[in-house]
Structure 1
Amino acid sequence: MQKLTPLAALFAGSMLAPAALAQAELVQALGNGGAIDVSLDGSVVVIGTNTWTESGGFVPVAGTNGLVAIDAAGVRLAGQVVDGLAFNNAGYWDGATWTALGSVSGNCDANKSSAYDISADGGTVVGLAWDGCTARAFYWTQPSGLVALTGAGSGSYRANCVDFFGSTVGGWDRINGSSNQPAVWTDLSMPPTIVGADGEVRAISADGTVFAGQESFQAAIMRIGQPAEYIPTPAGVAAGSSILYDCDAAGQVFVGQGGGAGPFAAPAAIYYRADVGSIALADLAEGLGATLPVGATMSVASAVSADGLTVVGGLQTFAPFPSDAFILRLPDAFLLRDTADISLSLGGTQNLDVLAGPDKAGDLYYVLGSASGSAPGVVVDGINIPLNLDSYFLFTLNNANTLIANSFGFLDATGKASASITLPAGSDASLAGLSVDHAYAVIDSTLFGVSAASNTQSLNLIP
């Protein structure tokens, strides 16, 4: 019987389990334009005037001419409705009927109000309501009805987003006729705090402390009393205006759009997390094993689920309008590689980026391998590691930091580490054609149990 190292004893009680998410998965929902929002768990998606689930497909929501947001449970919605006098109103859908939310005072042409978001608890709708033809940010609850927020000056202002329980609202304020300024209402009875310049707030973390949007025409993360953190344009994305449209509950994962300068240029969906950096979402998806439809580009990432693992947005085949929705499912932890092949005759190195996320900072990671595939995998502490148990798995488990350099260690302050596999020139030619898979487990440094597992990356040995 093979002797286990103390670290390998963690895995001694493992068992075979159903297949895990060994790679990122992309679902394309045909027609009805791009996806707009997603429920807390990523299961219900808003597309046009429909909700969509993977099992049930499109379900039309009657009585609306456009949906904008969905609550955490995937039941209550915010959107646009027409009232009995043919005025356009912000609307609240309780799962069965619409409520037209009205205006501050009167209407501007045929418009009374527009909805922009609904709180995750489903109790608060925010948006823009007309006071004559002056735009006012508003919030609405069933007890209060529509209430105009207070502006910072005499200009127009709008609410774009609201936190989990409806206590903090983000948007923009033109103050005294200036350009849009990123604005946050932390006290709904008071004027907003301006958190930047020339931009807007489009998303708020669940606790109401992290704000995502745009400052000076660049995607930015904002906090009260701190300078904006600008998100650089990802490699391969054309220079141009960029914006963040959403963030996860923790305020660590951000999605949006960049590039696309000019009327027929194709913009790109972008993704940011501290350990990953700024990256085109298509590059991340393909790097994690997802397959994009031929000829389609991921043009905008509109929303992300609370856990940061489901991103939705628009695919387009002809600029500038998304024609289909995408739903991208991401693994719990990311493993990226720089090359798929190593030549046995020439030698070479495969570098692996271990990207577990900021919430795993300071935890342990362990890169393991299998020569017999990723399904059904091995489950440890309820977490499926997508590697089959075989002699190579046991070798990597019992020989940390040998064949795989830096296969075991601590994640840095962003939840990141690096590992690599190097073969010298003139390696055994009989290994040609062999393909092995690698993935890593994250081990909680306090509880010393497996808390997450990554996708797999293959290594192909060629002559």
Structure 2
Amino acid sequence: MAVHAGDGIFFEIISEGLANGVSDDGSVVVGENNSGGFVWTLDGLEEIGGVAAIAADADGSFITGDRSFPSGDTAARYVAGGGWTEFGGLGSSGCDSSLSSAYDISSDGQRCVGLGWDGCAANAFLWSEAEGMFELPRIGPSATRADTISGDGTIIGGWDQASNGFRRAAVWFENAKTGEWDETLVLEGTFGNPEGYGEVNGSNGDGSILVGSADGTSDATSGGFMYLADDGVVNIGLLPPEQFPYVGGALDVTEDGRAIVGFQREGFGGGQAFRATYWTPETGLVDLKEHLNELGAGIPAEFTLAAAQSISDDGTVISGWGYEGLFFFQDAWVVILPGGEPEPCPGDLNGDGRVDGGDLGLLLAAWGTNDPAADLNEDGDVNGADLGLLLAFWGECP
């Protein structure tokens, strides 16, 4: 594990494997390595089992991911301190060893979306604790998949496969009156992409901003896009390619839509090259590693940021995967931009966002010990000095 910092930018390779998602508030990164799912915070890495942790809710209290069972791999939800709940599949059997796969979770952790199997028929699903798993409607004759859900749980994005096998960018809207879900193809009929080929990968809190990958008839209508509920499609595009063929897209977006992260892949087979991408109205689409190093991040030349998978609501925390040498050997990474480091709150021993009687009780219970959680001044002894610090921060955390 390597850590590099420069000019207020925090960069860390947090594990081998993939970093798949960031909580809305940026405090938690989730991913997968050879041991299964993991959760990363500034306090370190925690393994939570399962096959993979894919996405987190507002603050990491709920996580969606995948679990493995003799009957097949299944999408599931993890509750911090409470373990996993498995969803199963859409039918009585799955396809080969898979019943379902998770892709995203709402901000309150109560709705999850992904790909479910009914036999070997693949369908987008929505899961909730109250209703369980059910299939979302489809326009095309073949497969669908749900890749993202808005923070409020009312908009779902993904793809709907056409009869020719191409994916079309799809969005499902919850009808507030009936509770039913309606589907639309958001790129269909757009200039240079009349069939609407592509997929929706990310959403902001209320679904008014969606991002994804377009597959139009030219570079000008391919690559990343942003869909605005009020203004339609905005092309993000592609970086100038260094080799052929090449594809790219947008994977996630901030709450206000002013920062978008994604990827670009170029070349064939083992010679493929990847680049994580970053877009703002001010920078346009840029290579994320080059952009961060221009700001002083000091990311080593030999390490490639391959894909930026997720970004926090405020745009200060970005996570993804990369590699040194060949892309087969992947590492999970996180970047925290200036202003993104959590404000210190000494004395908040139970992590509820305020210093109060609950924290005082925990400190007194550890009195006279060397418990590091209560040893606020880190002198090896929980005593009056620590009590003074706790009282100095009494009240709401900054």
TM-score (norm 2): 0.73
Q: Distance in 1 between matches of 2:329 and 2:87?
A: 29
Q: Is the 8 A contact 2:238 2:249 kept in 1?
A: no
- Among 10, 20, 23, the residue aligned to 1:25: 10
Equivalent residue letter for 2:129: Q
Q: Distance in 2 between matches of 1:28 and 1:237?
A: 26
- Among 274, 287, 308, the residue aligned to 2:294: 287
Question: 1:148 and 2:135 equivalent?
Answer: yes
Q: Is the 8 A contact 2:154 2:206 kept in 1?
A: no
Q: Distance in 2 between matches of 1:255 and 1:122?
A: 23
Q: Distance in 2 between matches of 1:315 and 1:38?
A: 16
Structure 1 window deviating more from structure 2 (183-192 vs 150-159): it is 183-192
Equivalence for 2:91: 105
Equivalence for 2:213: 214
> What's the offset of the Cα at 1:165?
1.8
Distance 1:294 1:178, change over 3 A: closer
Structure 1 window deviating more from structure 2 (222-231 vs 212-221): it is 222-231
Equivalence for 1:442: none
Equivalence for 2:320: 313
Q: Is the 8 A contact 2:77 2:86 kept in 1?
A: yes
- Among 33, 56, 59, the residue aligned to 2:46: 59
Q: Distance in 2 between matches of 1:154 and 1:259?
A: 29
Equivalence for 1:423: none
Higher RCO (Cα < 8 Å, 6 or more apart): 1
Q: Distance in 2 between matches of 1:166 and 1:175?
A: 26
Q: Distance in 2 between matches of 1:300 and 1:99?
A: 29
Equivalence for 1:359: none
Equivalent residue letter for 2:19: A
Question: 1:157 and 2:156 equivalent?
Answer: no
Q: Distance in 1 between matches of 2:278 and 2:73?
A: 34
Q: Distance in 2 between matches of 1:176 and 1:236?
A: 30
**What's the C-alpha RMSD, in Å, of the aligned pairs?**
2.1
Equivalent residue letter for 2:54: V
Q: Distance in 2 between matches of 1:126 and 1:211?
A: 16
Superposed counterparts of 1:174-253, under 5 Å: 174-176=161-163, 178-187=165-174, 189-196=180-187, 197-216=196-215, 217-224=222-229, 228-234=233-239, 240-253=246-259
TM-score (norm 1): 0.63
Question: 1:124 and 2:108 equivalent?
Answer: no
Equivalence for 1:296: 303
Equivalent residue letter for 1:35: A
Q: Distance in 1 between matches of 2:226 and 2:306?
A: 21
Distance 1:283 1:317, change over 3 A: same
Q: Is the 8 A contact 1:77 1:118 kept in 2?
A: yes
Rg larger for: 1
Equivalence for 1:366: none
Q: Distance in 1 between matches of 2:326 and 2:281?
A: 30
Q: Which 5+ residue runs of structure 1 have no aligned equivalent?
A: 1-20, 334-463
Question: 1:260 and 2:251 equivalent?
Answer: no
Question: 1:94 and 2:79 equivalent?
Answer: yes
Q: Is the 8 A contact 2:241 2:266 kept in 1?
A: no
Instruction: Deviation per CA, 1:165-190: give whole Å up to 9, x if none.
Output: 21110000014454110000012623
> What's the offset of the Cα at 1:132?
2.1
Question: 1:36 and 2:36 equivalent?
Answer: no
Q: Distance in 1 between matches of 2:320 and 2:123?
A: 28
